[in-house]
Chain A
Amino acid sequence: MPDFVFSGDEAIARGAIDSGVSAAFAYPGTPSTEIMEFLQAHWDEYKATLSDEERAFVVAQWCSNEKTAYEAALGVSFVGRRAMVSMKHVGLNVAMDPFINSALVKINGGLVIVVADDPGMFSSQNEQDSRILADFAHIPCFEPSDQQEAYAMVRDAFAYSEIHEIPVLLRITTRLAHARAQIQVSPGMAPRALKKCSDPTAWTLMPGFARPRWRLLLKKYERFRADGEELAKLELRDKALGVITCGIGLKYYLENEDDWAALHGDKRPSHLHIDRYPLGRDKIQDLSNYVSKILVIEEGYPYIEREIVGTFDAPLPVLGKLSGDLSLSGELTADSVRLALGLAPLEALAASSIELPSRPPQFCQGCPHGDSFNALKAALQDEAEFLTTSDIGCYALAALPPYNAVESCVDMGASIGMARGASCVGQKNAVAVIGDSTFYHSGMTNLLDAVAHRSKLTLLILDNSTTGMTGAQPTISPGSRMKTLIEGLGVEAAHIRELEAHRKSHDINVAAIREELTYDGVSVIILKRECLEYLKKVRQQ
């Protein structure tokens, strides 16, 4: 098979296709988006390899949110076929309910969950580490260190999922997701046959059925631990230092290993590489008995480090993020690992002597959001009291100069709930600003709460026909149905305004927002105009 140059995301998508996946579901989120984009771009090619009757029953779909994506994947597994669901780390929070409970059901067709963590917060609101959530759910977690492993692990994960009747979480991080390297692929597999699970009580988590499933899971979890232990690679070499790596930490370590050896008479540190969780204990214990110091190199939280500190027979220094030898925040780099290994930095040019302010991200030239925020600011100009909550999307950039137009960005859909809560307890002029995709994802239920309780709230939906921030993926519902949808949720028709998000409509828009601010109930103002990135993409197609 020839080499391909794939990003980690693309390698994973290709791995799913070569595993005979029947269904893939996702909601866009950096750095996981390109998994579904690759699947969709290559889906026709994949279908062409399938028999006529199979071809109608393979899907790669964007979904409303990560929870709906996950639940659809569960259904696929129930009927015996392979499913993959992919998301960014905070997407797993949205899918937490099906995620945790799916550990208890009897997985039939393989179920692989790909979660892309974002240490360094390149495009996220936090640095949460999905390995901990896998442990919380008692779900095995596989962690590749490069693109080739990512490809192979998808195939292994499907097989493991079916053998042990358990979902498998594949955890990647931003650098792996978005870096490209050559990989070799193996021959593809055919999709599994449709065969419903013959034991529905194993999928019916009422207490009586769930209790034995939980006891079984606790037993299985020790098996997962033993399997991970077996695959961990331990090399006992120099006694001065033992290095534990996982994920991409391995690559940062290997980048520096030769230089360490050059300083230590050609000896190399003892080394344990872990690529599966739950964490095995024996090899860590073997390493600790052999060396006089351990360094843990892991991307994300100090998860392994926290598990092992203080657990050894004899006192043993453990260096890592808790000890301060690596930073608790941000991503690892070859440089930070180099210092933690006790190596001097490479000789580099000095930083510039003039101050280099960072270049803030901003709206594209002519972006409809800019016009919407100009209208909002003008409408609120003479108000002494107001609150503007916002949400996850490009429009959160309005929190920065020159707009300074919104005051929050917390999680998908929070703008509406927060504005409603604040309004309930006396905040005047509570305005929520949300994009169309985020509204479909998690805004609609908040709006339903507002309608049910007759909250005084003005909601601006910035409808640009796309999921813009992640590169213009289609939204789950067309903008043409937005008004009907909102009416269906119970907002009075007279207080649903559809306006054009454009400079030339500025005065009309300002007047409409002002009018709705005076209304003692729920108002929704839909500001419509297509995203420029979306238009560019449409033109290219």
Chain B
Amino acid sequence: MNYNIILAGVGGQGGLSVSVLIANAALTAGFQVKQSEVHGMSQRGGEVVAHLRIADYEIQSPTIPKGAADLILAFEPLEALRYLPWLSASRGMVVSSLTPIRNFSAYPDTAEVVAEIKNLPNYRILDAETIARQAGNVKAANICLLGAAADLLPLKADSLRKQIELYFSAKGEAMVMANLKAFDEGRNKYGA
């Protein structure tokens, strides 16, 4: 078994946190894990991408080869499109937020970006931001997207919930509840 995830977003969206959460759940389930991310200048409001590889055998490359990703989990729709060449033609799925972050002038037309995602063979697109806001914290949009992808992962939803609790416990009960709710709402929408 191997499962490769590209987590794509913009600096500050919490993409790396989701990567850590999934990785911890995978380790707990006894899988091997390799995770690759980039720090430094590229993080300042620019693109942030993490590669997460899960397998039941020794993983070699720390990054996912092109055509080998099972899932692009995108916290921003334009960023979803950026990594399409990494997605497996036969089994790749894009789970993306609907909300663009238009923080540069050359950003294409939003409708065009969304239409491009909807042209893909396998996609799930959701307004994670609104769902998260209704769940109690707009910042939980990343966890909502994780929920929407939960049934695709080789992990039990309960083990992800457990990791969410652990991860946010230092930030207080309200934060844990909002994130769990956002996760469950994401699952209800798609990943149940």
Q: Decide whether A and B assemble into one complex.
A: yes
CB neighbours (8 Å) of A519 from chain B are: none
The answer to the question of B92 belonging to the interface, with a C-beta cut-off of 8 Å to chain A, is: yes
Q: A30-B39, A122-B41, A123-B42 are in contact. Are A252 and B85 (CB under 8 A)?
A: no
Query: Sorted from nearest, which 4 A-B pairs have the closest CB atoms?
Result: A123-B40, A346-B67, A348-B67, A30-B40
**Cα A353 to Cα B85 with chains together (Å):** 12
Q: A349-B84, A350-B84, A354-B116 are in contact. Are A180 and B23 (CB under 8 A)?
A: yes
Contact of A123 among B27, B39, B107, B108 (CB under 8 A): B39
**Cα A106 to Cα B178 with chains together (Å):** 60
Contact of A348 among B45, B89, B105 (CB under 8 A): B89
Contact with A along B89-107 (1 / 0, CB 8 A): 1101000000000011111
The answer to the question of B189 belonging to the interface, with a C-beta cut-off of 8 Å to chain A, is: no
The answer to the question of B86 belonging to the interface, with a C-beta cut-off of 8 Å to chain A, is: yes
* Interface-lining segment among B55-63, B126-134, B135-143, B153-161: B55-63
- If A180-B35, A338-B65, A357-B108 are given as contacts, then 9 extra A-B residue pairs at C-beta distance below 8 Å, sorted by A number, are A3-B27, A174-B38, A180-B36, A255-B65, A333-B63, A334-B60, A345-B67, A348-B88, A362-B45
B19 → chain A closest CB, angstroms: 9
B96 → chain A closest CB, angstroms: 12
Contact of A363 among B36, B45, B61, B108 (CB under 8 A): B45
Residues B65 and A346 in contact, CB atoms below 8 Å apart = yes
Query: Can you give 19 contacting A-B residue pairs, CB < 8 Å?
Result: A178-B39, A179-B34, A179-B37, A180-B23, A180-B33, A180-B36, A181-B62, A182-B32, A346-B65, A348-B87, A349-B87, A352-B82, A354-B81, A357-B107, A359-B46, A361-B11, A361-B41, A364-B44, A397-B41
Residues A254 and B60 in contact, CB atoms below 8 Å apart = yes
The answer to the question of B66 belonging to the interface, with a C-beta cut-off of 8 Å to chain A, is: yes
Residues B62 and A179 in contact, CB atoms below 8 Å apart = yes
**Cα A173 to Cα B10 with chains together (Å):** 24
The answer to the question of A128 belonging to the interface, with a C-beta cut-off of 8 Å to chain B, is: no
B161 → chain A closest CB, angstroms: 20
B137 → chain A closest CB, angstroms: 17
**Cα A469 to Cα B41 with chains together (Å):** 6
Among A291-349, those with CB < 8 Å from B are 333-335, 338, 345-349
Name the residue on A nearest B45 (C-beta).
A362
Residues B44 and A362 in contact, CB atoms below 8 Å apart = yes
CB neighbours (8 Å) of A338 from chain B are: 65
Q: Which residues of A contact B (CB under 8 A)?
A: 3, 5, 30-31, 33-34, 122-123, 146, 174-176, 178-182, 248, 251-252, 254-255, 333-335, 338, 345-364, 394, 397, 401, 469-471
B103 → chain A closest CB, angstroms: 7
Q: A350-B84, A362-B44 are in contact. Are A334 and B63 (CB under 8 A)?
A: yes
The answer to the question of B177 belonging to the interface, with a C-beta cut-off of 8 Å to chain A, is: no
A318 → chain B closest CB, angstroms: 24
The answer to the question of B43 belonging to the interface, with a C-beta cut-off of 8 Å to chain A, is: yes
CB neighbours (8 Å) of B67 from chain A are: 345-349
**Cα A363 to Cα B45 with chains together (Å):** 7
Q: Which residues of B contact A (CB under 8 A)?
A: 10-11, 23, 27, 32-47, 59-68, 78-79, 81-82, 84-90, 92, 103-108, 112-113, 116, 120-121
**Cα A401 to Cα B34 with chains together (Å):** 36
Contact of A394 among B11, B39, B44, B116 (CB under 8 A): B44
Residues A359 and B104 in contact, CB atoms below 8 Å apart = yes
Residues A5 and B44 in contact, CB atoms below 8 Å apart = no
Residues B113 and A350 in contact, CB atoms below 8 Å apart = no
Q: A174-B38, A361-B43 are in contact. Are A348 and B66 (CB under 8 A)?
A: yes
B166 → chain A closest CB, angstroms: 14
A352 → chain B closest CB, angstroms: 4
Contact of A356 among B27, B68, B81, B90 (CB under 8 A): B81
CB neighbours (8 Å) of A255 from chain B are: 60-61, 65
Residues A248 and B66 in contact, CB atoms below 8 Å apart = no
Residues B84 and A248 in contact, CB atoms below 8 Å apart = no
Q: A180-B34, A347-B67 are in contact. Are A31 and B113 (CB under 8 A)?
A: no
Name the residue on A nearest B107 (C-beta).
A357
Residues A350 and B104 in contact, CB atoms below 8 Å apart = no
Name the residue on B nearest A30 (C-beta).
B40
Contact of B65 among A179, A254, A334, A470 (CB under 8 A): A334
Name the residue on B nearest A468 (C-beta).
B44
For B34, B87, B121, which residue has the most chain A Cβ atoms within 10 angstroms? B34
Q: A355-B108, A469-B40 are in contact. Are A361 and B45 (CB under 8 A)?
A: yes
For B27, B42, B121, which residue has the most chain A Cβ atoms within 10 angstroms? B42
